[in-house]
Amino acid sequence: MYVTAEHLRDQVIRPTLEYMGAWTATSEAFLLNAAVSAPDLGLFCARKDGLGLFHITAAQHRDLWDRYLAFNPDLASRVRGLASQRAFLSDPDSELQTNLSYCTAIAWLLYHRAGGSVEQPDIDVAVSA
């Protein structure tokens, strides 16, 4: 399957950020760059490591759920709504590989939780890293 950067931006990244209440042109550009051309942004793993579009490790994924989303139930519910019902329960890390919207949301939250410097709208999230 061939996906263009334009398709990724218009059909995955923008709708996911809008769903999360986190869309800005800058956040969209940041995630597109992270997916398409940035080998290592200091947050995501090098291209040879990690899972899915943003090369997020299982440890990063688990840590985000255990130490951030667990304390933000409304946000956790929103993110969980992007995941498939059965696959997420049996193998949550597989969602990083097979679900572009879910993977995009997790990537954005990893960056947001780390205090990323990308212009961010006010999202109703209590930051607890």
Give residue 129's pLDDT. 32
What is the separation, in whole angstroms, between the first and last Cα of the chain?
A: 37
Provide the CB-side half-sphere exposure for 72 (13 A, CA).
20
Total-model pTM? 0.83
> Using an 8 Å Cβ cutoff, are 50 and 44 in contact?
yes
Is 26 a residue whose pLDDT tops 60? yes
**Distance set, CA 122 to CA 8, 34, 91, 104 (Å):** 24, 22, 32, 19
Is 82 a residue whose pLDDT tops 70? yes
